[in-house]
């Protein structure tokens, strides 16, 4: 390969390292062309999978400030440059390697930190970003629904909350608040009592 071509290849690999959140080195010997095509297709959404030359990749990794890969750049090497969800990319490689043992995961890098094959497997076992966001959204929606219910509760519900709080205070031997000092009494009521009273009212529904 002519020097200008080498320089262009190194520049391209350097940019791939810099623009990728993660990269996974694999040994692909023993895989057929059709299997490599299948792997590229399955990885397409989260990574690009490319066969590379070790000498050029070492220089590109150095130029990109990537450390910890040199010792693994031996033998036939292909790299998954991850531009999407690193968890999904790791899952794709892990699942493909299970079905096609010829694919061997050698090492990786995530946010500039080296990863062992074991750590890449652990990464694959995590929940994806989409799943975590969905769970977070579900939790937030549940809390917002509770808040909306309380704000939209009719006055009769509010009155029952006050009555329930008074009952809790009486059970604990405290003074029963009058309408003028209700805020002070509520402020002194233990948080557990407020939570229990509110729950009691919410479960009772609007009977007015």
For residue 155, the enclosing domain spans 131-204
Whether residue 157 is found in the same domain as residue 65: no
Which of 100, 127, 154 finishes a domain?
A: 127
Whether residue 114 is found in the same domain as residue 135: no
pTM of the model: 0.60
Whether residue 17 is found in the same domain as residue 112: yes
The residue assigned the tokens 């509760």 is: 153
Q: Give the domain CATH number at 74.
A: 3.30.70.1730
Alpha-carbon distance of 140 to 182, in angstroms, equals 31
Whether residue 21 is found in the same domain as residue 82: yes
Number of domains in the chain: 2
Alpha-carbon distance of 116 to 24, in angstroms, equals 10
pLDDT, tens digit, 9 for 90 and up, residues 66-97: 998 999 999 999 999 999 999 999 999 999 99
Q: List, in order, residues 6 or more apart from 136 with CB less than 8 Å away.
A: none
Q: How sure is the predictor about 126, in pLDDT bands with cuts at 50, 70 and 90?
A: confident
pLDDT, tens digit, 9 for 90 and up, residues 137-190: 655 655 565 555 555 555 555 555 556 656 665 666 554 444 444 444 444 444
């Amino acid at each position: 390969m002519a020097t200008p071509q080498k320089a262009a290849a190194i520049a391209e690999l350097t940019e791939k390292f810099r623009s990728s959140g993660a990269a996974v080195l694999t040994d692909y010997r023993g895989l057929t062309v059709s299997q490599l095509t299948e792997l590229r297709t399955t990885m397409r959404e989260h990574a690009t999978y490319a066969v590379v030359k070790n000498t050029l990749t070492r220089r590109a990794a150095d130029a990109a400030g990537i450390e910890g890969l040199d010792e693994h750049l031996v033998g036939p090497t292909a790299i998954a440059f991850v531009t999407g969800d690193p968890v999904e990319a790791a899952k794709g490689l892990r699942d493909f390697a299970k079905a096609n043992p010829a694919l061997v995961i050698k090492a990786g890098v995530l946010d500039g930190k080296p990863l062992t094959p074991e750590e890449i497997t652990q990464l694959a076992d995590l929940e994806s970003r989409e799943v975590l966001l969905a769970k977070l959204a579900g939790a937030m929606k549940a809390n917002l629904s509770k808040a909306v219910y309380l704000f939209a509760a009719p006055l009769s519900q509010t009155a029952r909350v006050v009555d329930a709080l008074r009952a809790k205070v009486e059970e604990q031997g405290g003074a029963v608040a009058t309408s003028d000092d209700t805020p002070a009494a509520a402020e002194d009521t233990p948080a557990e009592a407020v939570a229990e009273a509110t729950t009691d009212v919410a479960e009772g529904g609007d009977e007015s």
